[in-house]
Every structure is written in structure tokens, then in C-alpha cells.
């Protein structure tokens, strides 16, 4: 059994439609794949409809959250959520808020880039997002399109990184609130790439303990952005707190170099997720 529990489609910041993503997953020999677009379930119905026979699809999402340390600015943390009820009112309202927040923030970034002479159009970016959520990767592609950057990576490195004068932060969900919402909706919250120092500032063990108190059920251990040491530490924490451990690629199509299935999850850990998730059912034969 090959299981990849973290992938993005074009409904957020991947480059393949949900149907194409599932074909890629099957082609790569996966038996189980989770669709975890940022802050939206907009790809779930297409994934259910396009599922190739023999492939199990775990409906999920990656919720953008923040941890507020006492002595430094908020730290961005990502929460994977599996098998929640997409119609749960509190959680649906929070997703709607995040979507509006992303739209407002994206428009501000684009306005300030345009003001500095980069010919990017907000209308075109929204149109190309096809009703999904808008993020910096969409702005990066627009910058490439108008010749202001050589590649998405180059656009991030020069104009879109979080210290850039064009960067605008967004008011992401407080992580313990996010965990509580996922649990209230019958879902399984798993801390995504929690110790990936290469992505920026990380939270400490005390924050992870607080997240466990709030209802966190798992840690993403094997992730392309984790070093061997970071994986070992997460595995120790998971053993201490009796948490589920996952491994995933965080596939984004051609927006990132990582192939689907680059890291995988053990079948017994998937079973624990399926047993804990009561808000929706996997799509399977
Ligand atoms: P946002 O949620 O709008 O702040 O955008 C963050 C997303 O941009 C992340 O989830 C990544 O998928 C993507 N991203 C961040 N850095 C890079 C990079 N250097 N190259 C490509 N994509 C990136
Ligand atoms: Fe992403
Ligand atoms: Fe993430
Ligand atoms: Zn991701």
C-alpha cells in the first residue's frame, strides 16, 4: 500500500485539476491519496466524480493558521484536516472568512506591485483561479506571464517573500481554534511540516503540547522539507503524546519540484485516521 496524505490541486496552488491530480497519483502507483488544498473543499466533488477505480481518496484540506508566541510575532502554522463535515456551520464560516481575507490581501499585494510598475492584473488573477482560493503562487504565475520574473520560485525570491515591501500578511486562524473547529466538524487535525526550519520560524515543543491539549491528533513526520533530525524529533513527540504520524509529498504539480508519493504514510496510521474521522467518508471502491 502506498499512501500520500498531502497534495494540492489547481483549486488552490497546485497546477493540476483534481481529476488530473488523481490520474497522476494512480500513475505513480499510489493506492491512497488525500486532496488537501489550502483553505478550501472546492475540489472534493470533482475528486469524487473523477476517482480512478482502485484509488482511495481521503477528502481533506490544509488550514492556514497562526500560533501567537508571548515574545515574538505570530508564527505561520499549517494544519492538515481530514474527513471533516464540509457543511459544519462554524468551520464553513471560518473558511469563508479565510477566502475573503485572501481576496482582500491578494488585491492589496497586486495593487502595490502595479503601483511600482509591475503590469499584473488582479482581475486576470481572480479569473484564472476559477473560483478556488487565491494565494501568492497565483500572483507569482502572473508575474512570470508578464515577464517580471523568470519562474514562480524567482518571483517568490525577489518580490513575494514575506520580507518583501509588497508582502501583506493575512489574518489566519488561531491554531487552537482551528484544531477545535476541525474536531467539532468530525475531522482529524494533523500538524503539517511542523518542524520545517527551511520554511521559516517554527513553534517549539510547548506550542505542540498546547496543540495536543486543544485536540491535535497527528504530526506530519516524513515531509520533503524536514531534515532527518527534525523527523526524529517529531517521531519522539508523537510517541510521547500518542499521536498519529504521517508522511506525504505536499505535491503542488509543477509549482514545486517534489514528485507525488515522495514521502508516504504507514497503513496502520491511515487506519487510525479513518477510525477517528467521522465527518465524511473516504471516496473508494
Ligand atoms: P500564501 O498562502 O498566499 O501566503 O502562499 C503560500 C504558498 O506559496 C505556500 O503554500 C506554497 O505552496 C507557496 N510557496 C511558498 N514559497 C514558494 C516558492 N519559493 N516557490 C513556489 N511556491 C512557493
Ligand atoms: Fe501551497
Ligand atoms: Fe503547508
Ligand atoms: Zn501543503
**Res 82: pLDDT:** 99
Give, using CA atoms, the residue closest to atom 2 of ligand 1: 135
- 25 Cβ partners below 8 Å, 6+ apart? 4, 7, 33, 55, 260, 261
| Ligand 1 pocket member 172 (CB < 6 A) | no
Phi, psi of 152 (to 5 degrees): -60, -45
Q: CA 101, CA 95: separation in Å to the nearest integer?
A: 10
**Res 137: pLDDT:** 93
Ligand 3: distance of its center to the CA of 67 in Å? 14
Nearest to 248 by CA among 236, 237, 238, 260: 260
**Res 174: pLDDT:** 98
**Res 256: pLDDT:** 87
Return averaged pLDDT per consecutive 10 residues of the chain, 285 residues in all: 97 95 98 97 97 98 97 96 98 96 96 97 91 91 96 96 95 97 98 95 96 98 98 98 98 93 98 98 97
Closest atom of ligand 1 to 162 CA is: 4
Ligand 3: distance of its center to the CA of 62 in Å? 7
Ligand 1: distance of its center to the CA of 136 in Å? 6
Give, using CA atoms, the residue closest to atom 23 of ligand 1: 137
**Res 283: pLDDT:** 98
Q: CA 234, CA 228: separation in Å to the nearest integer?
A: 10
Amino acid at each position: 500500500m502506498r499512501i500520500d496524505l498531502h497534495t494540492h490541486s489547481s483549486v488552490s496552488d497546485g497546477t493540476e485539476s483534481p481529476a488530473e491530480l488523481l490520474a497522476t497519483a494512480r500513475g505513480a502507483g499510489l493506492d491512497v491519496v488525500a486532496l488537501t488544498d489550502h483553505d478550501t473543499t472546492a475540489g472534493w466533488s470533482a475528486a469524487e466524480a473523477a476517482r480512478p477505480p482502485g484509488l482511495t481518496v481521503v477528502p481533506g484540506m490544509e488550514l492556514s493558521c497562526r500560533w501567537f508566541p508571548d515574545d515574538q510575532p505570530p508564527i505561520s502554522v499549517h494544519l492538515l484536516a481530514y474527513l471533516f463535515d464540509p457543511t459544519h456551520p462554524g468551520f464553513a464560516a471560518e473558511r469563508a472568512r479565510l477566502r475573503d481575507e485572501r481576496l482582500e490581501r491578494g488585491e492589496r499585494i497586486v495593487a502595490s506591485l502595479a503601483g511600482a510598475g509591475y503590469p499584473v492584473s488582479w482581475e486576470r488573477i481572480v479569473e484564472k483561479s476559477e473560483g478556488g482560493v487565491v494565494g501568492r503562487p497565483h500572483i507569482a504565475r502572473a508575474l512570470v506571464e508578464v515577464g517580471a520574473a523568470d519562474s514562480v520560485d524567482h518571483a517568490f525570491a525577489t518580490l513575494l517573500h514575506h520580507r518583501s515591501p509588497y508582502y501583506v500578511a493575512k489574518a489566519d486562524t488561531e491554531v487552537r481554534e482551528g484544531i477545535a473547529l476541525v474536531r467539532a466538524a468530525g475531522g482529524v487535525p494533523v500538524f503539517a511540516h511542523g518542524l520545517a526550519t527551511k520554511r521559516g520560524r517554527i513553534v517549539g515543543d510547548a506550542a505542540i503540547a498546547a496543540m495536543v491539549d486543544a485536540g491535535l491528533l497527528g504530526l506530519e513526520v516524513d515531509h520533503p522539507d524536514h531534515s532527518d533530525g527534525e523527523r526524529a524529533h517529531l517521531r519522539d513527540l508523537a510517541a510521547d503524546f500518542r499521536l498519529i504520524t504521517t508522511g506525504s509529498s505536499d505535491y503542488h504539480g509543477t509549482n514545486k519540484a517534489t514528485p507525488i508519493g515522495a514521502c508516504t504514510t504507514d497503513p496502520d496510521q491511515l487506519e487510525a485516521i479513518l477510525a477517528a474521522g467521522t465527518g465524511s467518508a473516504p471516496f473508494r471502491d
